[in-house]
Structures are given as structure tokens and as C-alpha cells.
């Protein structure tokens, strides 16, 4: 197998253990070994940057990140190379629709490097703060839109059944937006055209590379476009069968050091 010139990895279910917070020793070792060869290692996630940097700081590296499932891309020095936001009109309409049809959902408004909520005491918000180490702040969404602080992403938190209905209803009603469940209890809303693939494209352009130079690791449906785009794609052992079939390779699970195992098996580290 050809040695990649750049490596991309999803975070939850891929790079992190099942606790969504910790990195195994071998996974951290693999990142350091890749970087020592001059190969960029990029984390790709629906998370905001402030929910990714505690992970990279914890293993002692400064690397590029792609946040909001491809909406925001930052270099290892923190330089912004891609920043896609939801249009103000679309954001206002979808927020009104959520309040009307899904009032029990917790709505999170992510704008660049900041995270706004209506209720910091909501247990769902507090749990997200706990696992990501990012800090939410109280914000008035209408006021944010009025001063052109546009959302990079809206995140809905709720029970599985309302999330399933919200994904279907909002996607049908707002074709100008990309609406997708990232888990049974989370619905991500971004500008149409934003995907992990679009984030990869921006990062590859930055490095002067192409898709065939890239290796990507992922474990779930929101990684599908990234896996199909990268020249070499690797599904984790804990991925659904459909994702395994879409990838060119399958490795061990995130709990079994799947990233390290694949790179070691193919003599990349």
C-alpha cells in the first residue's frame, strides 16, 4: 500500500475510547510516529475547536482540525482556511420551526469558536460540557443573528424519537440546509454543501495535495462522504456494516487501538 501524505481521523468512536474523552496510549503513540515522519495528522469532527483542543493538548500535539463536520478548518497554527456559516434567513426560519414543532429539544448555537445555549442548567448541555471540556454561554439567538454572528452549526439534543422526526421534517422543509443525525439523540444542522468531504478538500488544497494522497479513518454514517472521498479509507471495527462495506479497509475497533493497528500492520509507523 502506498504511504499516505496526510491522514484524517474522525474523533468519537474512532480516535477516542468509548468514554468520548480519552485517547489510548497506542493511538497517541501512532500520532506522534506519523508526525515524526512529516505527515500531517488531522482530526475531523462535528465538535467545535474548543472541544477538540483538550484532546490534542492531552497527547501533546498541535495539529490541524476540521470542525462542524467540515464547516470550519484550522491549520496547526490556528489559521482559518475554511469557515462556512448558515445563512441568516435560513437560520432564523429553522430556529422558529424548531421552537414551534420541537420545543422539548435543547438547541445549541455554535458560531466559530463560541457555543451559545438558552439554558446552561439543562442536563443535556451539562453532559456535553462534561465530555467535551468546552464551555457553553448564554446567548439570545435572535440577537446573535441581528449582529451577523451567524451559526456554524445548530445542534439539537433530545430523545431518539423526536430526533428522528426532527431530522426528517427539517431536512424536507429546509433543502438549503444539511440536516443529519450524528447519534440517536443528536441532530446536526449546517449549511447545505458542508460535509466532512468539503473539509478534507479545503485541507488538501492548503497542503497542495489531492484525495489520492489521503488516508481517512471513520466509524459512522456522518463519515461516509469522507471515507468515499479519500484515496484510502479505513472503517473501524465498531462501525456499522454499511460503513465497513463502503471503506477500502477495516481495522480493529476504537477500544482495540484500531488506528495504531492499521498503521502498524501496513508499516506506516
Rounded Cα distance, 34 and 94, in Å: 42
Catalytic residue among 10, 219, 223, 257: 10
For residue 181, what pLDDT is reported? 85
Tell me the pLDDT tens digit for each residue of 255-267. 999 999 999 999 9
**The pLDDT value given to residue 222:** 87
**pLDDT band for position 207 (50/70/90)?**
very high
In the residue annotation, 10 being an active-site residue is answered as yes
- pLDDT tens figures, 8-35: 999 999 999 999 999 999 999 999 999 9
Place of cell 477500544: 255
Q: pLDDT for 137-191, tens place per residue?
A: 999 999 999 999 999 999 999 999 999 999 999 999 999 999 988 888 999 999 9
Cα–Cα separations (whole angstroms), residue 181 to 43, 121, 140, 211: 20, 24, 24, 26
Q: For residue 180, what pLDDT is reported?
A: 87
Sign of CA pseudo-dihedral 230, 236, 238, 244: positive
Burial of 152 (0-12, 13-18, 19+ CB in 10 A): buried
C-alpha cell at 108: 445549541
The pLDDT assigned to 155 comes to 97
Q: Give dist(CA 116, CA 138) in Å, integer.
A: 6
Amino acid at each position: 500500500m502506498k504511504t499516505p501524505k496526510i491522514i484524517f481521523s474522525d474523533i468519537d468512536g474512532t480516535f477516542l475510547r468509548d468514554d468520548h474523552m480519552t485517547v489510548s496510549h497506542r493511538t497517541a503513540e501512532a500520532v506522534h510516529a506519523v508526525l515524526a515522519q512529516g505527515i500531517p495528522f488531522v482530526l475531523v469532527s462535528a465538535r467545535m475547536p474548543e472541544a477538540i483542543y483538550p484532546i490534542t493538548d492531552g497527547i501533546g500535539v498541535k495539529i490541524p482540525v476540521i470542525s462542524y463536520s467540515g464547516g470550519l478548518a484550522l491549520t496547526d497554527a490556528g489559521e482559518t482556511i475554511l469557515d462556512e456559516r448558515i445563512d441568516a434567513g435560513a437560520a432564523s426560519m429553522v430556529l422558529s420551526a424548531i421552537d414551534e414543532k420541537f420545543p422539548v429539544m435543547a438547541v445549541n448555537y455554535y458560531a466559530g469558536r463560541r457555543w451559545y445555549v438558552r439554558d446552561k442548567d439543562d442536563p443535556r448541555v451539562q453532559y456535553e460540557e462534561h465530555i467535551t471540556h468546552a464551555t457553553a454561554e448564554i446567548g439570545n439567538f435572535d440577537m446573535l443573528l441581528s449582529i451577523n454572528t451567524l451559526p456554524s452549526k445548530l445542534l439539537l439534543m433530545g430523545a431518539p424519537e423526536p430526533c428522528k422526526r426532527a431530522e426528517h421534517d427539517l431536512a424536507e422543509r429546509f433543502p438549503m440546509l444539511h440536516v443529519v443525525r450524528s447519534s440517536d439523540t443528536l441532530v446536526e444542522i449546517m449549511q447545505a454543501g458542508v460535509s466532512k468531504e468539503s473539509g478534507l478538500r479545503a485541507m488538501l488544497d492548503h497542503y497542495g495535495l489531492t484525495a489520492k494522497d489521503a488516508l481517512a479513518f471513520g466509524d459512522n454514517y456522518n463519515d461516509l462522504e469522507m471515507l468515499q472521498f479519500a484515496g484510502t479509507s479505513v472503517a473501524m471495527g465498531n462501525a456499522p456494516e454499511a460503513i465497513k462495506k463502503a471503506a477500502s479497509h477495516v481495522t480493529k475497533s476504537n477500544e482495540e487501538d484500531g488506528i495504531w493497528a492499521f498503521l502498524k500492520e501496513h508499516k506506516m509507523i
